[in-house]
């Protein structure tokens, strides 16, 4: 073979990537963890690049497991495992209600996203996802950006939400629109009109989702009360809309129509429930209830709750559309996200009829769909994006 040809062969990016993947997979260690109720849970390590990750697949009855990759410095391995398990299960329910034809999964990489996230670590994680052969599809999550997913994509096609033309990009605005529609649904249920004109909405967290939500609520005529631990962000939005602000540890005590948790989970708990002065809770945060029974306590206090895994499915709906045969279509996504409103109204009805919490009503609906494979995927997902 001439040296020119040889050079061409060596530089072929596809072959280089395949060789890299092969090398990467050789140094990966997979440890199967047996967890009751979960289809597959693996601990993945690669000492060479300092990777310790967990991939938790809860249920694939309706389709391959889809869920983000969280990169976080956990206090210990058990805390990371608990987070991965809880989030994976939540994704099963979220997908079942949103009827996207996916199952539930989630992964965590135990690392400080500010100091320990390297391309080598992300690529090793990608090689692990590839090894699961499509049983799990990953996306961005806390500590993991769209740009990071692009790096993971070098090793595996089983990703969604890339900042590419052929992908769906940032899910934040779609999650925000679904949350906005969810806020309209609680207001409709409470006041028989979904107008937000003059309604007081207290928002906890003005991040990727909360920031978009603030804009939408302002233009719909709502009175805003804001809190964020990031004082710069808080000042920005307060100034933009002349909105009231409160300290982060006061936001759930504000008298308002709707409290919208858009930051961390666990905000509905024994301590906060007696302190709520809202009529409804509707926000995008995952795992808002510290424990399932807190939904019952909310019901007893007469506070209407929009179940988190229903109201915050906008991002999931959006990424799921990029895996359709026809490719990503934001208009179709918008249409589906818009209807989160109707799904929530139906859930409030069911809860009232069954005299149960809205959370329980949503869980039962999801369980029913999983049991009878309602909405099961028939056409395998199509990955339209490339590794570039
Ligand atoms: P983000 O990290 O961009 O924003 C979170 C914001 O909350 C930040 O501005 C942060 O400073 C603030 N914050 C943190 N702790 C706070 C506290 N105690 N009080 C007040 N503010 C606090 O995250 P995001 O993407 O906007 O997601 C917000 C929530 O929604 C998370 O629970 C996430 O899991 C969930 N969620 C997000 C999406 C999505 O599309 N991004 C989809 C579904 C669910």
The label of the residue with tokens 């309602």 reads: 374
Q: What is the pLDDT of residue 1?
A: 43
Spans of all domains in the chain: 10-87+102-153, 172-371
* Cα 206 to averaged position of ligand 1 atoms, centre (Å): 7
* Cα 49 to averaged position of ligand 1 atoms, centre (Å): 29
* Cα 8 to averaged position of ligand 1 atoms, centre (Å): 47
Q: What is the pLDDT of residue 169?
A: 85
Among candidates 90, 123, 125, which has minimal Cα distance to 109?
125
Q: Which of 106, 150, 200, 336 is catalytic?
A: 106
Residues 6+ apart with CB under 8 A from 284: 175, 176, 178, 179, 209, 210, 213, 260, 261, 262, 308, 311, 312
Determine contact, residues 167/385, Cβ cutoff 8 Å.
Answer: yes
Tens digit of pLDDT for each residue in 103-122? Answer: 999 999 999 999 999 999 99
Q: What is the pLDDT of residue 3?
A: 47
CATH architecture of 10-87+102-153: 3-Layer(aba) Sandwich (3.40)
Q: What is the pLDDT of residue 9?
A: 54
Phi, psi for residue 124 in degrees, rounded to 5: -65, -40
Which atom of ligand 1 is nearest to 206's Cα?
A: 9
User: Does 204 contact ligand 1 (Cβ within 6 A)?
Assistant: yes
Tell me if domain 10-87+102-153 and domain 172-371 are identical in fold.
yes
172-371: CATH number: 3.40.50.720
Tens digit of pLDDT for each residue in 170-208? Answer: 899 999 999 999 999 999 999 999 999 999 999 999 999
User: Does 246 contact ligand 1 (Cβ within 6 A)?
Assistant: no
Which atom of ligand 1 is nearest to 286's Cα?
A: 32
Within the chain, which residues score under 50 in pLDDT? 1-3, 5-6
User: Does 72 contact ligand 1 (Cβ within 6 A)?
Assistant: no
Q: What is the pLDDT of residue 11?
A: 65
What is the DSSP code (8-state) at residue 381? P
Give the bridge partners for 33, in sequence order: 41
Cα Rg, the chain, nearest whole Å: 22
Determine contact, residues 57/136, Cβ cutoff 8 Å.
Answer: yes
Q: Whose CA is nearest to atom 32 of ligand 1?
A: 285
Which atom of ligand 1 is nearest to 227's Cα?
A: 20
73 part of the active site: no
DSSP string for 308-371: HHHHTTHHHHHHHHTTSTT---HHHHHHHHHTHHHHHHHHHHHHHHHTS-HHHHHHHHHHHHHH
* Cα 314 to averaged position of ligand 1 atoms, centre (Å): 15
């Amino acid at each position: 073979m001439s040296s020119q040809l040889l050079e061409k062969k060596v530089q072929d990016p596809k072959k280089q990537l395949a060789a890299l993947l092969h090398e990467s997979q050789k140094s990966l260690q997979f440890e199967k963890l047996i967890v009751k109720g979960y289809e597959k849970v693996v601990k993945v390590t690669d000492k060479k690049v300092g990777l310790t990750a967990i991939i938790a697949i809860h249920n694939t009855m309706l389709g391959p497991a889809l869920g983000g990759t969280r990169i976080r410095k956990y206090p210990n391995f058990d805390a990371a495992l608990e987070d991965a398990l809880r989030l994976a299960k939540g994704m099963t329910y979220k997908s079942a209600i949103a009827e996207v034809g996916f199952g539930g999964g989630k992964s965590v990489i135990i690392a400080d996203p500010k100091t320990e996230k390297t391309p080598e670590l992300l690529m090793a994680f990608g090689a692990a996802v590839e090894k699961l052969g499509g049983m799990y599809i990953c996306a961005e999550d806390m500590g993991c950006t769209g740009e990071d997913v692009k790096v993971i994509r070098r090793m595996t096609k089983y990703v969604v939400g890339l900042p590419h033309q052929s992908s769906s990009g940032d899910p934040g605005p779609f999650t925000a629109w679904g949350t906005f529609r969810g806020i309209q649904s609680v207001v409709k249920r409470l006041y028989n009109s979904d107008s937000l004109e003059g309604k007081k909405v207290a928002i906890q967290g003005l991040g990727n989702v909360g920031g978009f939500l603030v804009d939408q609520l302002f233009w719909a005529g709502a009175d805003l009360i804001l809190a964020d631990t990031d004082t710069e962000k808080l000042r920005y939005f307060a100034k933009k809309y002349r909105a009231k602000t409160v300290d982060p540890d006061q936001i759930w005590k504000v008298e308002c129509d709707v409290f919208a948790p858009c930051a961390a989970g666990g905000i509905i708990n024994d301590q906060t429930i007696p302190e709520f002065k809202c009529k409804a809770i509707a926000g995008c945060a995952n795992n808002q209830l510290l424990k399932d029974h807190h939904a019952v306590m909310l019901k007893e206090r007469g506070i209407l709750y929009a179940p988190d895994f229903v109201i915050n499915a906008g991002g999931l709906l959006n990424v799921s559309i990029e895996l359709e045969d026809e490719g990503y279509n934001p208009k179709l996504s918008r249409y589906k996200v818009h209807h989160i409103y109707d799904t929530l109204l139906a859930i409030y009805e069911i809860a009232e009829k069954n005299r149960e919490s809205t959370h329980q009503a949503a869980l039962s609906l999801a369980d029913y769909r999983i049991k009878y494979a309602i909405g099961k995927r028939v056409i395998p997902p199509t990955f339209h994006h490339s590794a570039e």
